[in-house]
Amino acid sequence: MQFPSKLIEEAVGEVSKLPGIGKKSALRIVLHLLKRDARDAQSLANALVAVRTQTQYCKKCHNIADAELCSICTSTRRDQTVICVVQDSRDVLAIENTSQYNGLYHVLGGIISPLEGVSPSDLQIDSLLERIKTAEEPVKEVVLALSPTMEGDTTAFYLQKKLKPLGLKISTIARGIPIGGDLEYTDEITLGRSILNRINYD
């Protein structure tokens, strides 16, 4: 790809490093910024620098935060007796967008994957156990909201073994046929789990 300016070439090179953005998309973004007021580009640059230098991780749940504790952990409106365990902060955002969950979270920072060299000690599992044991308000339920992959299932099984002696309810998110999906196009594993984990029809 030929560029009319070295500055544009460098900007396109940096933008194209972002996930899901190729050279053509990066060029469109750079040219768009070039047409906008210089203050818009400066505001974008300032926001990106701030998110990289000022963002931290909650000391309690390890979610992205602006302070030592995130807004979810400090909220008095959340159910303190339920903790939803997720792989990363993107999962927290996804669940929050449903507006169907009002408990707390615990971000593991990954899932167990021997092939990638990720072991239980690399994850925030010990801090989860310590958090449950020392909670001011007793935790009654832990929801395992991990991806339905081999690594996710391995992590869930490991957590279940660690959590069971604590005598609390351990649940997992339901897995099944998506709304609007056709049975004939559903893979066998998902369909099989839907049959096994069927619910009463009210």
Q: Provide the residue ranges of all domains of the chain, joining segments of one domain with +.
A: 6-54, 77-172
Q: Which two tokens stand for residue 80?
A: 């303190």
According to the model, what pLDDT value does residue 192 have?
83
Low-confidence ranges of the chain (pLDDT < 50): none
| Calpha distance 72→75 (Å, rounded) | 5
According to the model, what pLDDT value does residue 47 have?
95
> Which of 143, 61, 151 is closest to 113 using CA atoms?
151
Distances (CA, A) of 106 to 8, 24, 122, 129: 42, 38, 15, 10
Q: What string of DSSP letters covers 154-202?
A: HHHHHHHHHHGGGT-EEEE----PPTT--GGGS-HHHHHHHHHT-----
Top-tier CATH class for 77-172: alpha beta
Residues 6+ apart with CB under 8 A from 5: none
Q: Which fold has domain 6-54?
A: Helicase, Ruva Protein; domain 3 (1.10.8)
Let me know: does 82 contact 58? Beta carbons within 8 Å. no
| Calpha distance 136→105 (Å, rounded) | 16
Q: What is the pLDDT of residues 154-173, one digit of tens each?
A: 999 999 999 999 999 999 98
Let me know: does 60 contact 69? Beta carbons within 8 Å. yes
According to the model, what pLDDT value does residue 90 have?
94
Phi, psi for residue 164 in degrees, rounded to 5:
-55, -45
According to the model, what pLDDT value does residue 88 have?
95
C-alpha dihedral over 102, 103, 104, 109, to 10 degrees? -80
According to the model, what pLDDT value does residue 128 have?
97
According to the model, what pLDDT value does residue 187 have?
81
According to the model, what pLDDT value does residue 182 have?
77
Q: Full-prediction pTM beyond 0.85?
A: no
According to the model, what pLDDT value does residue 202 have?
57
